[in-house]
Structure 1
């Protein structure tokens, strides 16, 4: 990066346990054992107040995770390709994933990742502890989001949603893509027990976080904790679109 070109400033906002906006300009590289020729930044994590861990990973030429990711008996993982092309493996299954491709690995299944491009590939990576349900068990899921049709969101024809994982109760979480046409918004300011980790894929917007309106744009990461007010509207000339996680299909433990 070299010497600063202006006064030191940041758009990032951190409210531990509540919410965070993390702009890409301030990210630093975290060394994670097993990842080779990769630049990794840890985004959401328990140290921030999240029950999961989110990463943004830039795989350089020859980048890979040779030791595997996840694989513990109580940890599930997910990867989404922001740009580039990778080989993703789950046990004895292999998938070639281009932009919008993704892979979910259930507990006990290691995920292996390898860059297939002669340029960089960029990934949104996730892990969390699985909350078991008697008689239920999730399975490996892989697809490309651009092969899934958008559904109209909450009756509004200018907001659209994709479910990336099955809505079956075998799964205790899901990943979605939400897309707002220019000037579109949520129907109301949400307040709920679920938490989210979101990576902005396209566009610009204003996001309500704990009743504070914050400008956001492509490349930003947002953590939203339980019961934090949240809503968005799109501004500019292109859709505001983001991929995000949501915990679901389980009761609250006492």
Structure 2
């Protein structure tokens, strides 16, 4: 498995400033070249750590979640990473090795490691290695529903979950589903979507779910509202509800992205 991981740094002074970054009413496109040293944040409670915050609830944009790319250096970590009560999370490791202690049980995460952290769970992170570890951290305020229990935390790996082909695609389009789609305790899904070269979404999806899409591998042309946008490993797309979307995957390798969406809840009107 290949997972793009930002390295920071700065472009040379001779480079043109023109890039592919764009913010529109229906979507935001953040190319990998934007993830530089000077746009990182330090996080309270973490040591030897920096983070690129690539999504947050904002007026006129996506409102249900935040997403960070977090880099923890050797010896760094956090005893209590989550500062807010009632917030669930997903950790997906793309580089290095990280020790996750979840409800008193240690898990050593390597690239492809995935953890769902239930709201209220006790957890910590530590980098005991000699190289930096990098992971995506997706956070959402959990929305409880009458008669439905809280979801349980779990740890798995991308490599251990069989992708499910979409109907009538002969495997050209498949989704690695880490949580059971029929389990109503989950109000968000964070999956990996894989397209083989030439695979496509053959219609403009237009739906209520918000999306965060981080391209882990490969390249494609992605339909965002009324624009066709070239994207590659390291790019990030933030889609508001009802933003039309589709794609054609290029080659020569699979096109894969980490996908957030909010699911399984009635729309609140009061």
- What TM-score do the two structures reach when normalised by structure 2? 0.88
- 1:109 paired residue among 112, 117, 121: 121
CA distance in 2, matches of 1:50, 1:215: 25
Q: Distance in 1 between matches of 2:192 and 2:267?
A: 25
**1:36 is matched with which residue?**
47
Contact 2:62 2:239 in 1 (8 A): no
Shift in Å at residue 72 of structure 1? 3.5
| Match of residue 21 from structure 1 | 29
Candidates 176, 183, 187, aligned match of 1:162: 176
Are 1:6 and 2:15 counterparts? yes
Counterparts of 2:250 and 2:84, CA distance in 1: 42
How far did residue 243 of structure 1 move? 1.1
1:146 positional shift: 0.7
How big is the alpha-carbon RMSD for the aligned residues of Structure 1 and Structure 2?
Answer: 1.6
Hey, which of these two has a bigger chunk of strand by percent? 1
For 2:18 and 2:139, the matched residues in 1 are separated by 31
User: 188-197 or 146-155, which moves further after superposition?
Assistant: 146-155
> What secondary structure does 1:241 align onto?
strand
- The change in CA–CA distance for 1:236 and 1:75 in structure 2 (over 3 A counts) is same
Name which of 179, 204, 207 aligns with 1:192: 207
Structure 1: gaps spanning 5 or more residues: none
Deviations 1:38-65 (A, max 9, x none): 2201011112433110001122222312
**Pairing partner for 2:143 from 131, 139, 158:** 131
Q: CA deviation at 1:198?
A: 1.5
Deviation string, structure 1 residues 128-157 (Cα, Å, up to 9, x no partner): 111101232111111001111111113212
Structure 2, gaps ≥5 residues long = 1-9
Tell me the residue number matched to 1:181: 196
TM (norm. structure 1) is 0.94
Structure 2: distance between partners of 1:138 and 1:54: 20
Contact 1:44 1:50 survives alignment (8 Å): no
